[in-house]
Structure 1
Amino acid sequence: MVADYFNNYITLLAFILTGMVFLSLVLFLCRLVAPRNPIPDKFTTYECGMIPMGMYWSHFHVRYYIFALLFVIFKIGTVFLYPWAVLFRSLGLFGFVAIIIFWAILFPGLLYAWKKGVLKWV
């Protein structure tokens, strides 16, 4: 009985080791076969074939980073909402309370971002 329990872990370990060996082999072959021709043009910024002009470092307003983080947060919310909706009847009251708590944690973040004007495209 204990052997059956650990058999699943042995299978998982075999898959992980196989993946690591395969990854190492592929990286080694890429390193072996890849051409090496270091010229200074390879270290310049690529701008659609044009020679870069001016400063190569540009700053973006923090609002765009916050918007991206909000997108990721609410995309995660959507990913969790779909399986919850599929299993809604079988989860019962516990599932309903769990999703309410989950959205109660995320919703103030949306309100804060809205209040700060992050969601406005100016």
Structure 2
Amino acid sequence: MASVAANYLPILLFLVVALGISGAFVVLPMIAARFTGADKPNPDKLAEYECGFPAFEDSRAQFDVRFYLVAILFIVFDIEAAFLFPWAVSVFSIGWVAWGAMMLFIVELALGLAYAWKKGALEWE
């Protein structure tokens, strides 16, 4: 029974260290802000510094849904590239079944692209 518990000791140690480090990343900046005075806002600290002038409208404005569709399509094809490159390196050693599976995957993605194109997800006005 002691050997089973000893096998889980590295996992427990990893979790304790991870929680300690993540807790330090949360707590230490707050403590440093208290000592340096960074937590006391004033008008100069709250002024616009990136563009130099106040925003024209509310910063919580809604985005068009097509923005999200394009972002999702980008992620899908980025994942395709992540799968395609390692497969292309090892295609000759993994056999015809893997080749057929990747061709099915590429056809599925092409059908998805054709569907998105037909629905107008790639059109921008």
Shorter-chain TM band: 0.7 to 0.9
Distance 1:74 1:7, change over 3 A: farther
The CA RMSD measured in Å over matched residues stands at 3.2
Q: Select which of 103, 111, 115 maps to 2:114.
A: 111
What is the rounded CA distance, in whole Å, between the counterparts of 1:8 and 1:76 in structure 2? 35
Aligned to 2:93: 90
TM-score normalized with structure 2 length: 0.72
Structure 1: 4+ residue segments shifted above 6 A: 6-9, 40-47
Aligned length: 120
Aligned to 2:75: 72
What is the rounded CA distance, in whole Å, between the counterparts of 1:24 and 1:58 in structure 2? 33
Percent of aligned positions that are identical: 38
Correspondence 1:22 to 2:25: no
- Do the aligned partners of 1:63 and 1:118 also contact (CA within 8 Å) in 2? yes
Distance 1:84 1:99, change over 3 A: same
Q: Unmatched 5+ residue regions in structure 1?
A: 1-5
TM-score normalized with structure 1 length: 0.74
Most deviating of 91-100 and 63-72: 91-100
Offset of 1:92 from its aligned partner?
Answer: 0.5
What is the rounded CA distance, in whole Å, between the counterparts of 2:109 and 2:8 in structure 1? 36
What is the rounded CA distance, in whole Å, between the counterparts of 2:118 and 2:124 in structure 1? 14
Offset of 1:102 from its aligned partner?
Answer: 2.0
Distance 1:27 1:10, change over 3 A: same
Distance 1:98 1:14, change over 3 A: farther
Most deviating of 71-80 and 98-107: 98-107
Offset of 1:53 from its aligned partner?
Answer: 2.7
Q: Unmatched 5+ residue regions in structure 2?
A: none
Most deviating of 33-42 and 106-115: 33-42
